[in-house]
Amino acid sequence: MPMDDVVSQMRKFMEPKSVAIMGLSRTPFTIGKTALDILAELRACGYQGKIYPVHPQATELQGIKTYASVADAPADIDLAIINLPRELVPGIVKECIDKGIEAIAILTQGFTDANDEKGDQLQKQIDDIIRGSKARILGPNSIGTANAYANISLGFLKTQMEEVPVSWITQSGLFFLGPLGLKPFGKGIDLGNACDIHFADALEYFEQDDETKVIALHIEGMRDTKKFLRTVARVAHKKPVVAFKTGRSEQASHAVLSHTGSLTGRDELWDVAFRQAGVIRVNDIEELIDTVRAFYILPLMKGKRVGIVSWSGGANIMAIDACQSSGLEIAKVSQSTIDRLRTLYPSWQDVRNPADIWPAVMIAKKASLFEVEKIVLETLLDDAGVDAVLCMLGAFISGLEVEFTKIVTQAAESHPGKPFVFHPYAGGFYSEFKDELEKTNKTMVFSSPQRALRALKHLSDYAKLSAYPDT
Amino acid sequence: MPMDDVVSQMRKFMEPKSVAIMGLSRTPFTIGKTALDILAELRACGYQGKIYPVHPQATELQGIKTYASVADAPADIDLAIINLPRELVPGIVKECIDKGIEAIAILTQGFTDANDEKGDQLQKQIDDIIRGSKARILGPNSIGTANAYANISLGFLKTQMEEVPVSWITQSGLFFLGPLGLKPFGKGIDLGNACDIHFADALEYFEQDDETKVIALHIEGMRDTKKFLRTVARVAHKKPVVAFKTGRSEQASHAVLSHTGSLTGRDELWDVAFRQAGVIRVNDIEELIDTVRAFYILPLMKGKRVGIVSWSGGANIMAIDACQSSGLEIAKVSQSTIDRLRTLYPSWQDVRNPADIWPAVMIAKKASLFEVEKIVLETLLDDAGVDAVLCMLGAFISGLEVEFTKIVTQAAESHPGKPFVFHPYAGGFYSEFKDELEKTNKTMVFSSPQRALRALKHLSDYAKLSAYPDT
């Protein structure tokens, strides 16, 4: 199918102008005071399109006029959302197609993910119904799509989204809920069982989408691996694609069959395939989030050479270990860097990278802590042999983060092409540090040197893919 | 030296009844409004012993009477703390010994950690001075000791301590400042360059100490590895010893020489030695803190078989991957467990471990979300084939943590011998969850399934060391 067609089909899922909802309850499921309900969520996220709730008995739900069937609703329906018991789904899909609806999202579980024959039969009925029609199906067993730019979220759970150029293609609604530390969620599509709409379709949409700069994938398994790999290899050379492939073991494969009915494939093959396609593979949810954020916030890292500065010699040694394990290198700094640092240090101290500046801080008679930090940070960033800088310091006093934010802002303005990141090794005021420094959108704060350097390594690897715009 | 002697020597460092301080400034070094000053910190932490500040010019500092020299101070000095320029240190050590002081902590840097000959010479002078005396030296380049049970903290930085039975032996002051997530810091000793007091001395002290239940080591390197390994193998069979050995690479070894003047040793040899000694080795600062906390908070894990319950099939698959990578096993649950779970599930759903309970929650007509969660958690904990349980759920609604705390408290009372841990996979109310659930002191909350299972694996490994008391 021509890519333009796929993109226009995907638009109906990602930017629908009108939605029909089938499967609303007159008494929504609630946890505490929160209703887990598609209509409530759609309105809460500020959706401006038309909403046509369908309910055989009701005349209105949550103050909105309902229709007895989708046939009775107005004709201009971009997208139908189905969250009915599984036995009813094929019949409703048929009604939607008869109505001329071309985008259908099925949230219901119990199809190829079920442990019985009935699930497979129902899926086959759906396949038969859509064959030959223009309709495309998202799911079943999907939580829908979300798009902060279009104020739309189709699931029954609160999506943690904001207008950032980071787009997610997943096989679990989990990511829509905002895992710890996941701030950038701009657009998302949950493929669920992926009976029709696949990774390749979603990738083509985000490839063309100007509001998407980074693409994150959560993959459990798939059937058409070839088409996926062909597509992702093309897209990954235009925009960074970060992939979290789960379901690695034999045991996990069984669980994946029960979850999304997908085939996991041999894990070593995925490793090779991702590498060949230029996809950045990550191994756990923390690395996924760190990496996606790094691509969103930081510039790429042009080489592998890291400059390190810390108040703690002990932290520097941890960072050297982390450099080695992540595959980065400790930069050999220039003579001019050494000469500049020497003016700050006590005479007995070795001047090297990593820079241990606490002795310099302790003897600084005129210079303050912040002046020493600023000079050392700028000196390392100025060095042509340094591709990125990691700063580690103690967040043990409230207010430090304010001074550091000034230093960060200045350094970023004078060194826009080099990433620099922070690890505050004392936790007393870690959150204040993180919040304040990251507000600048110039740096990232990590909870360990390992995590910081792992993220930088991905920026360095991706910089080698030449097609990526150099910013 | 007999162990009792070592313990009584160490007491003077860890529980001194009186301290003399040499190297206080009349204008303390400050960051913002915080004075980084030994006297200020000692008073701030509520020290109840006698303090004798020594200053050649002052008559009082911070309202406390000073002495022109240590010779002029009263005779009952348990511990001398020296933070003077390095050239003055040997002379002051001599004065301390002449005064009969048997415990001397040197905070000054620039001895074997320095890049010049002078540093080595000064160290040799100190070695010569203490030879034949009863005096023991902590440091140089140490941040001292801290002991929440004795309200003492000798460093010039605020120590994050509280009365918990977790003791730290480190080669960096970093750990005294409370790295992110480090709550249990009860007692600590920073060996610095370890010219005299070594890991073995501190281990013997904590071995005998009833207030110590878990020992954490941060090791960069050492000279007398044999003595250390002999001692730690004995101690590790009585109390869990968790070791974070840094300085793994060639490059790191150089940095260690500049930091604490220690020899790192080949990393593979450390791996073997730790395993033989029964020491739990960890690989980064997050694993260190997770593991120490797990030993402090959770019971040991009797086997390797994990029960998993989640609202998210996707999270379950991540947990299976993490189980495999950490070396644990997915428990094969009993028929009675399967029968109990089946009553909650939709008919089409496969009943297995991991348990994906969201479909059960969605069809629960009478049972609430919390009832389903409680039944499944208790069912897994009841199963004799399950050694620990991991629960994953979405922290996307405020207030959930209160209900879960009730479930946790009840489950802990009825299953005191099995660890169970949580991963809230939505970050919206993660901190509330963590704070509330961990208040019970019965469970731990982790930011990823990987981190949760890695910590459980250490509990499982240590349970095999038979001498450890069984709770």
- Please report the residues numbered 108 through 127 in chain A whose beta carbons come closer than 8 angstroms to any beta carbon of chain B: 109-110, 113-116, 118-119
Q: Are B218 and B168 in contact (CB under 8 A)?
A: yes
* CB-count burial class (<10 Å; 0-12, 13-18, 19+) for B176: buried
Predicted local confidence at residue B156, as pLDDT: 86
Mean pLDDT, rounded, for B307-325: 95
Nearest to B318 among A29, A285, A330 (CB): A285
- Closest-CA residue to B323 (of B411, B389, B266): B389
> Mind listing the pLDDT tens digit for each residue in A8-56?
999 999 999 999 999 998 888 887 777 789 999 999 999 999 999 999 9
Percent of chain A with pLDDT over 90: 78
Predicted local confidence at residue A51, as pLDDT: 97
Give the DSSP H or E segment for A187: strand A187-190
DSSP string, A335-377: HHHHHHHHTTS-TTSPP-SSEE-HHHHHH-SSS-HHHHHHHHH
Rounded to whole angstroms, the Cα distance separating B311 from B426 reads 11
Of A248-257, B32-41, B203-212, B310-319, least confident by mean pLDDT is A248-257
Pairs of CB atoms within 8 A across A/B: 252
Nearest to A119 among B119, B170, B348 (CB): B348
Give the DSSP H or E segment for B345: none
CA distance A188 to chain B (A): 16
Chain mean pLDDT for chain B: 92
Is B324 close to A397, i.e. CB distance below 8 A? no
Residue A157 has pLDDT above 90, yes or no: no
Half-sphere exposure of B336 (CA within 13 A, CB side): 9
Rounded to whole angstroms, the Cα distance separating A396 from A392 reads 12
Give the ranges where B175-284 is alpha helix by DSSP (H). 199-208, 225-236, 250-259, 267-277
- Please report the residues numbered 183 through 222 in chain A whose beta carbons come closer than 8 angstroms to any beta carbon of chain B: 218, 220
- Closest-CA residue to B10 (of B176, B151, B201, B227): B201
Tokens 């189980």 map to which residue? Answer: B323
Mean pLDDT, rounded, for B282-310: 96
Helical packing angle, B449-463 and A285-297, nearest 10°: 140
Chain A residue at shortest CA distance from B285: A448
Predicted local confidence at residue B470, as pLDDT: 42
> Mind listing the pLDDT tens digit for each residue in A318-373?
999 999 999 999 999 999 999 999 999 999 998 999 999 988 888 876 568 889 99
Rounded to whole angstroms, the Cα distance separating B364 from B357 reads 10
> Mind listing the pLDDT tens digit for each residue in B350-408?
899 999 998 888 887 656 888 999 999 999 999 999 999 999 998 888 888 999 999 99
Residue A390's contacts (CB-CB under 8 Å, 6 or more residues apart) are A306, A307, A308, A309, A319, A420, A421, A422, A423, A449, A452, A453, A456
Residue B428 has pLDDT above 90, yes or no: no
Residue A316 has pLDDT above 70, yes or no: yes
Measured between alpha carbons, how far is residue B447 from residues A47, B451, B452 in Å? 32, 7, 8
Rounded to whole angstroms, the Cα distance separating B397 from A117 reads 36
CA distance A115 to chain B (A): 5
Chain mean pLDDT for chain A: 92
> Mind listing the pLDDT tens digit for each residue in B231-286?
999 999 999 999 999 998 777 887 777 777 776 678 888 999 999 999 999 999 99
User: Could you tell me if B259 lies within 8 Å of chain A, comparing CB atoms?
Assistant: yes
Rounded to whole angstroms, the Cα distance separating B110 from B117 reads 10
Q: Are B344 and B389 in contact (CB under 8 A)?
A: no
Nearest to B320 among A178, A249, A426 (CB): A249
Predicted local confidence at residue A471, as pLDDT: 39
Contacting residues of B for A31, CB less than 8 Å apart: 369, 397, 400
Is B356 close to A259, i.e. CB distance below 8 A? yes
Which structure tokens are listed for B237?
């069979």
Predicted local confidence at residue B122, as pLDDT: 98
Measured between alpha carbons, how far is residue B30 from residues A393, A399, B26, B34, B36 in Å? 16, 13, 12, 5, 6
> Mind listing the pLDDT tens digit for each residue in B44-81?
999 999 999 999 999 999 999 999 999 999 999 999 99
User: Could you tell me if B252 lies within 8 Å of chain A, comparing CB atoms?
Assistant: yes
Q: How confident is the model at residue B138 (pLDDT cuts 50, 70, 90)?
A: very high
Q: How confident is the model at residue A72 (pLDDT cuts 50, 70, 90)?
A: very high
Tokens 């109906």 map to which residue? Answer: A12
End-to-end CA distance of chain B: 33
Is B32 close to A313, i.e. CB distance below 8 A? no
Rounded to whole angstroms, the Cα distance separating B235 from B6 reads 15
Rounded to whole angstroms, the Cα distance separating A359 from A346 reads 7
User: Could you tell me if A348 lies within 8 Å of chain B, comparing CB atoms?
Assistant: yes
User: Could you tell me if B171 lies within 8 Å of chain A, comparing CB atoms?
Assistant: yes
Give the ranges where A237-357 is alpha helix by DSSP (H). 250-259, 267-277, 285-297, 313-326, 335-342
- Closest-CA residue to A174 (of A288, A262, A84, A257): A288
Q: How confident is the model at residue B288 (pLDDT cuts 50, 70, 90)?
A: very high
CA angle B69, B74, B79 (to 5 degrees): 80
Measured between alpha carbons, how far is residue B124 from residues A70, B62, B120, B196, B220 in Å? 90, 35, 6, 12, 22
Contacting residues of B for A115, CB less than 8 Å apart: 348-350
CA A432 to chain centre: 23
| Torsion over CA: A79, A20, A168, B326 (sign) | negative
Which structure tokens are listed for B303?
């086997």
CA A7 to chain centre: 21
> Mind listing the pLDDT tens digit for each residue in A418-469?
999 999 998 889 999 999 999 999 999 999 999 999 999 999 999 988 545 4
Rounded to whole angstroms, the Cα distance separating B129 from A80 reads 86
- Closest-CA residue to A416 (of A281, A302, A254): A302
Is A313 close to B426, i.e. CB distance below 8 A? no
In 10 A of CB A47, how many CB atoms?
Answer: 19
Q: How confident is the model at residue A470 (pLDDT cuts 50, 70, 90)?
A: very low
Contacting residues of A for B285, CB less than 8 Å apart: 318, 425, 448-450
**Bridge-based pairing state of the strands B30-31 and B34-35:** antiparallel
Which structure tokens are listed for A220?
């459990």
> Mind listing the pLDDT tens digit for each residue in B354-366?
999 988 888 876 5
- Please report the residues numbered 79 through 98 in chain A whose beta carbons come closer than 8 angstroms to any beta carbon of chain B: 86
**Bridge-based pairing state of the strands A64-65 and A60-61:** antiparallel
Rounded to whole angstroms, the Cα distance separating A470 from A468 reads 6
CA distance A110 to chain B (A): 6
Is A428 close to B178, i.e. CB distance below 8 A? yes
Rounded to whole angstroms, the Cα distance separating B285 from B175 reads 10
Chain B residue at shortest CA distance from A264: B317
Interface test with B, best of A176, A281, A317 (most B CBs within 10 A): A317
- Please report the residues numbered 261 through 300 in chain B whose beta carbons come closer than 8 angstroms to any beta carbon of chain A: 284-286
Which structure tokens are listed for A184?
């950038």
Q: Helices (H), strands (E): how many in chain B?
A: 16, 21
Q: Is B61 helix (H, G, I), strand (E, B) or coil?
A: strand
Predicted local confidence at residue A158, as pLDDT: 85
DSSP string, B122-188: HHHHHHHHHTTSS-EEE-SS--EEEEGGGTEE-SSS-----S-SEEEEESSGGGGG--TT-----EE
